[in-house]
Amino acid sequence: MRRLIAAALIIGGASAAQGQAPVLPRVHVLATGGTISNLGNDARRTGDELIAAIPALGKIARVTVEQFSNVASGSVTQDMWRDLAKRIAALQAGPDAPAGYVITHGTDTMEETAYFLGLTVGGCSPVLVTGAMRQANAVGADGPANLLNAVRVAVAPAARGRGTMVLMNDEIFAARDVTKSNTSRMNAFSAPDAGVLGLADPDTVVFHRAAPEGGSTCRRAPFDLATLGAFPRVDVIYAHIGADSVAVEAAVAAGARGLVVAGVGRGGSTPSQGRALRRARDQGVVVATSNRTGSGRVGSGGVSDSLEKLPAGAGANVGSAELNPQKARILLMLALAAKYRPADIARLFEVR
Ligand code: GLU
């Protein structure tokens, strides 16, 4: 699956080699698959083919391409996340280190991969995750524009120090903030609580918020994969009227060390589900309460006033801040792998 073909295509190097133009910054593309590469009938474009179809890139960057995988994003695995993050770290430390990275990825789980990379990749060089809502051979395919814009952002000085971002439909989102909030539309990506981070406009790349430390400091990743153990099982439990204890008990029986509740409102669940969650917590499972509304915070200090209340901030019961369930799951999994204590996990959820 991983790095099926390690190919390198260099666009934009020729004029530099002739000494007629400054050497362009290098951007390394890691192609993983998704609709941006999908031609239907099991046929897919390679990363090389995607880049070769955009001659305008030759004026922006020296683009090198690596075929990491070529799969729908539902087939991306947690092992692939680790390999992707480690590959970027290796490139950062290697010769001719890229100025930035672009990951092409299916859009369905793009926010998860982006958030994982945001938590595990440090350094100055930005990582842009992009894809397409329309298939590679569709009329009005958005993949080429997204890829071009992702490379533009990857080399933009204002992007340095900002870590991992998602570029879709001309909009730049911080990895923590972004979610896919529509199944099919071109503007399927949004950041319900924090808003769009910036824009890849035709004339320039603009950011609406300052980079941390004004971009002068490179990021330290919150988690160091080099020292992190195996990822524990963390499951998402969906709350709804009629939900009983079955899903919670099954997850615990399967070995879950963490549970994320996609709670109603500010994190509520049904009485039966709430009792099962308390039992899980009493067995040492960390319960992080998120919500199913699509936006808004759940704090560790006061969880839900609807249906069943879980004891606020007690023991191993933490709020997920504004992280949606699928993102809260990633943070909880990494925090448990890093052996954080519940009180520290609660604080971790609030670090932006
Ligand atoms: N939208 C799908 C995804 O997120 C694309 C499916 C495919 O590439 O086959 O990966």
- Each residue of 79-112: pLDDT tens digit? 999 999 999 999 999 999 999 999 999 999 999 9
In a domain, 15, yes or no: no
260 and 330, same domain (yes or no): yes
Q: Are residues 235 and 205 in the same domain?
A: no
Q: Is 29 in contact with 71 (CB distance < 8 Å)? A: no
Examine the domain organization and report whether 159 and 258 are in the same domain: no
Domain presence at residue 296: yes
Domain holding 197, by residue range, is: 26-215
Q: Is residue 13 part of a domain?
A: no
Query: Who wins on pLDDT, 215 or 148?
Result: 148
Report the nearest atom of ligand 1 relative to the CA of 34.
Answer: 8
Residue nearest (by alpha carbon) to ligand 1 atom 8: 34
- Residue type present at position 33: G
On whether both 191 and 238 belong to a single domain, the answer is no
Q: Are residues 189 and 151 in the same domain?
A: yes
Q: Which atom belonging to ligand 1 lies closest to the Cα atom of 105?
A: 10
Cα 335 to ligand 1 centre (Å): 29
Instruction: For residue range 37-68, list pLDDT tens digits in order.
Output: 999 999 999 999 999 999 999 999 999 999 99
Are 194 and 116 found together in one domain?
yes
Of 219, 237, 112, the closest CA to residue 176 belongs to 112
Q: Above 90 in pLDDT, residue 245?
A: yes
Q: Is 33 in the pocket of ligand 1 (CB under 6 A)?
A: yes
Q: What is the CATH number of the domain that holds 205?
A: 3.40.50.1170
Q: Are 103 and 239 found together in one domain?
A: no
- How many percent of the chain have pLDDT more than 70? 88
Please indicate whether residue 35 is annotated as part of the active site.
Answer: yes
Residue 240 counted as domain residue: yes
In angstroms, how far apart are the furthest CA atoms of the chain? 72
170 Cβ inside 6 Å of ligand 1: no
Count how many domains the chain has. Answer: 2
Q: In this structure, how many other beta carbons lie within 10 angstroms of the beta carbon of residue 311? A: 11
In a domain, 178, yes or no: yes
Output the CA angle 297-251-266, nearest 5 degrees.
15
Q: Pick the last residue of a domain from 175, 191, 215.
A: 215
Residue nearest to atom 3 of ligand 1 (CA): 106
Task: For residue range 62-85, list pLDDT tens digits in order.
Answer: 999 999 999 999 999 999 999 999
Contact indicator for 37, 46 with CB cutoff of 8 Å: yes
Say if residue 191 is in the same domain as residue 318.
no
**Is 163 part of a structural domain of the chain?**
yes
Distance CA 132, CA 141 (A): 7
What tens digit of pLDDT does each residue of 102-147 get?
999 999 999 999 999 999 999 999 999 999 999 999 999 999 999 9
Nearest atom in ligand 1 to the alpha carbon of residue 110 is 4
**Residue 217, token pair as written in the block:** 């400091």
| End position of a domain, from candidates 184, 215, 246 | 215
Domain of 275, CATH number, reads: 3.40.50.40
Do residue 203 and residue 246 come from a single domain? no
Q: Are residues 189 and 254 in the same domain?
A: no
Beta carbons within 10 angstroms of residue 310's beta carbon: 23
20: in domain:
no
Percent of the chain predicted with pLDDT > 90? 80
Ligand 1 touching residue 47 (CB < 6 A): no
Is the pLDDT assigned to residue 287 strictly greater than 80?
yes
Is residue 3 in a domain? no
143 CB less than 6 Å from ligand 1?
no
* Ligand 1 centroid distance, CA of 71 (Å): 7
